[in-house]
Amino acid sequence: MKLGNGTGNALDAIDLKILDTLQRDCKIPLARVGEQVGLSAPSVIDRIKKLENAGVITGYHAALDSQELGLDVTAFIGVEHGQLADVTDFEDYVSKLEDILECHHVTGQHTFLLKAKTKNTSALESLISQIRKIPGVARTETMVVLSTHVERSQVPLPGESSLEQSQSPRRRSRGAGSKSVAAAS
pLDDT band, residue 77 (cuts 50/70/90): very high
Same domain, 50 and 75: no
Is residue 169, in this structure, part of any structural domain at all? no
Comparison of pLDDT for 38 and 86, the residue scoring more: 38
What confidence score (pLDDT) does residue 52 get? 96
Is residue 51, in this structure, part of any structural domain at all? yes
- Least confident stretch, 32-36, 108-112, 128-132, 178-182: 178-182
> Could you give the residue ranges of the DSSP H alpha helices within the chain?
13-24, 30-37, 41-53, 87-95, 121-132, 162-167
Backbone angles phi, psi at 182, to 5 degrees: -150, 145
Which of 44, 62, 80 represents a domain boundary (last residue)?
62
Same domain, 56 and 73: no
Same domain, 144 and 76: yes
Which of 13, 29, 62 represents a domain boundary (last residue)?
62
Provide the mean pLDDT of the chain.
Answer: 85
Between the alpha carbon of residue 13 and those of residues 18, 19, 37, 137, the distances in Å are: 9, 10, 9, 46
CATH code at position 115: 3.30.70.920
Is residue 106, in this structure, part of any structural domain at all? yes
8 A C-beta contact, residue 103 and residue 89: no
Same domain, 135 and 75: yes
Which of 11, 45, 62 represents a domain boundary (last residue)?
62
Same domain, 112 and 143: yes
Is residue 136, in this structure, part of any structural domain at all? yes
pTM over 0.85: no
Query: What domain count does the chain have?
Result: 2
pLDDT tens digit sequence for 122-174? 999 999 999 999 988 999 999 999 999 998 888 898 876 543 444 444 444 44
What confidence score (pLDDT) does residue 185 get? 41
**64 CB-near residues (< 8 Å, 6+ apart):** none
Same domain, 49 and 20: yes
What confidence score (pLDDT) does residue 87 get? 82
Is residue 127, in this structure, part of any structural domain at all? yes
CATH code at position 18: 1.10.10.10
Is residue 157, in this structure, part of any structural domain at all? no
What confidence score (pLDDT) does residue 176 get? 44
8 A C-beta contact, residue 34 and residue 41: yes
Is residue 174, in this structure, part of any structural domain at all? no
Is residue 156, in this structure, part of any structural domain at all? no
What confidence score (pLDDT) does residue 165 get? 45
Same domain, 106 and 92: yes
Domain that holds residue 140: 67-148+180-184
Comparison of pLDDT for 85 and 26, the residue scoring more: 26
What confidence score (pLDDT) does residue 3 get? 55
Same domain, 74 and 114: yes
pLDDT band, residue 178 (cuts 50/70/90): very low
Same domain, 78 and 58: no
pLDDT tens digit sequence for 42-61? 999 999 999 999 999 999 99
